[in-house]
Structure 1
Amino acid sequence: MNNIKQFLFAIYIDLALSRQEHVLAGDTTTKDVIVPKISDWQVTVANGLITTENLFVHCKSKEDDLGEQNLRYGDRFSWNFGENMLHSTLFWCYMSKDDVHMNVKVFWDDVILFHRCGWKNCVWTAKNDGIYLWNSATGEDMLMEKWEVGW
């Protein structure tokens, strides 16, 4: 019986990976029906530094390198993605300005983070004392991590 389940699961995965997408109703595609998206997310990193400093940002996940960004004051860098079925999606960013830097997780599977992000959009803002997450539940920025001195 176990072999039958494994065989059917293998066929399911093969169909999911090889199937052409066809739009069904609205934005739903056949691929979404076969391998449903757990949820759609957007992460934004913004330069909110009071000075005229540029913010260097390099964000990654295990599968994706989103490249290096140099953000001027007020600039934003955003990306969209669907959380994977294993709930193991993780994005982190290296950020630096002048002689301070940090490595910070900007998305991971956590109900508290999801609540703060309003279940769809995590907005991180670099300020002079550290990185802040916009808490949509309370309507205010929360200091999440302070800058580390040096390189």
Structure 2
Amino acid sequence: MNNIKQFLLAIFIYLVLTFHDRVLASSTTTRDIIVPKISDWQITVVNGLITSETLFVHCKSKDDDLGEQNLHLGDRFSWNFGENMLHSTLFWCYLSKDDGHMNVKVFWDDVILFHRCGWEKCVWTAKTDGLYLWNSAIGEDLLLEKWETGW
């Protein structure tokens, strides 16, 4: 009987270590049952460029390409997902505007990021001088990344 318990535990550990993050649709998947989510998150990228430039956004994770977006002033691009049990969920975006670009992480396992995002929603706003994260703990935008010049 003890061997059966060890065998089942080994299978469970194998499944936990081999399944990858997936952006979640509105329904629960088999993966959600096998590898429970630590928490649900929403990431939003906003075009706050006062010059009315179009903001090009291309976000992805290791497993999910969220596609290319062209955001006009005030437009938002958002997605929802569940952080995995191994705390390895990572999303990054390439952003570009007329005279600048950047590659930036928009979600990673970091308690400071989680605190700033209120443990559920990270709102990133592209402005003329760089990319800002809304810090819900203090109620203001924080400049976290400056634009690189050129393409």
TM above 0.5, yes or no, is yes
Q: Which residue of structure 1 lines up, in the alignment, with residue 49 of structure 2?
A: 49
Judged with a 3 Å threshold, the aligned counterparts in structure 2 of structure 1 residues 114 and 53 are, in CA distance, closer, same or farther, namely: same
Q: Which residue of structure 1 lines up, in the alignment, with residue 99 of structure 2?
A: 99
Q: Which residue of structure 2 lines up, in the alignment, with residue 137 of structure 1?
A: 137
Judged with a 3 Å threshold, the aligned counterparts in structure 2 of structure 1 residues 15 and 61 are, in CA distance, closer, same or farther, namely: closer
- Once residues 126 and 61 of structure 1 are traced to their aligned partners in structure 2, the CA distance between those partners, rounded to angstroms, is 20
- Consecutive unaligned residues of structure 1, counting only runs of 5 or more, are 17-26
- Once residues 95 and 36 of structure 1 are traced to their aligned partners in structure 2, the CA distance between those partners, rounded to angstroms, is 31
Q: Which residue of structure 2 lines up, in the alignment, with residue 90 of structure 1?
A: 90
Structure 1 residue 12 displacement after superposition? 3.9
Structure 1 residue 48 displacement after superposition? 0.2
- Once residues 133 and 148 of structure 1 are traced to their aligned partners in structure 2, the CA distance between those partners, rounded to angstroms, is 18
SS in 1 for 2:77: strand
- Once residues 15 and 100 of structure 1 are traced to their aligned partners in structure 2, the CA distance between those partners, rounded to angstroms, is 42
- Consecutive unaligned residues of structure 2, counting only runs of 5 or more, are 17-26
SS in 2 for 1:86: coil
- Once residues 31 and 89 of structure 1 are traced to their aligned partners in structure 2, the CA distance between those partners, rounded to angstroms, is 15
Judged with a 3 Å threshold, the aligned counterparts in structure 2 of structure 1 residues 148 and 3 are, in CA distance, closer, same or farther, namely: farther
TM-score (norm 1): 0.83
- Once residues 65 and 32 of structure 1 are traced to their aligned partners in structure 2, the CA distance between those partners, rounded to angstroms, is 20
- Once residues 61 and 30 of structure 1 are traced to their aligned partners in structure 2, the CA distance between those partners, rounded to angstroms, is 20
Structure 1 residue 99 displacement after superposition? 2.2
Alignment size in residue pairs:
141
Structure 1 residue 52 displacement after superposition? 1.3
| Contact 2:36–2:84, Cα closer than 8 Å, also in 1 | no
Give the share of equivalent positions with the same residue, in percent.
Answer: 83
- Root-mean-square deviation (CA, aligned residues, Å) is 2.8
Structure 1 residue 127 displacement after superposition? 0.1
- Structure 1 residues 111-122: aligned runs within 5 Å: 111-122=111-122
* 1:46-69 C-alpha deviation (Å, 9 max, x unpaired): 000001100000000000000000
- Structure 1 residues 1-151: aligned runs within 5 Å: 7-12=7-12, 34-151=34-151
Structure 1 residue 43 displacement after superposition? 0.2
TM-score (norm 2): 0.83
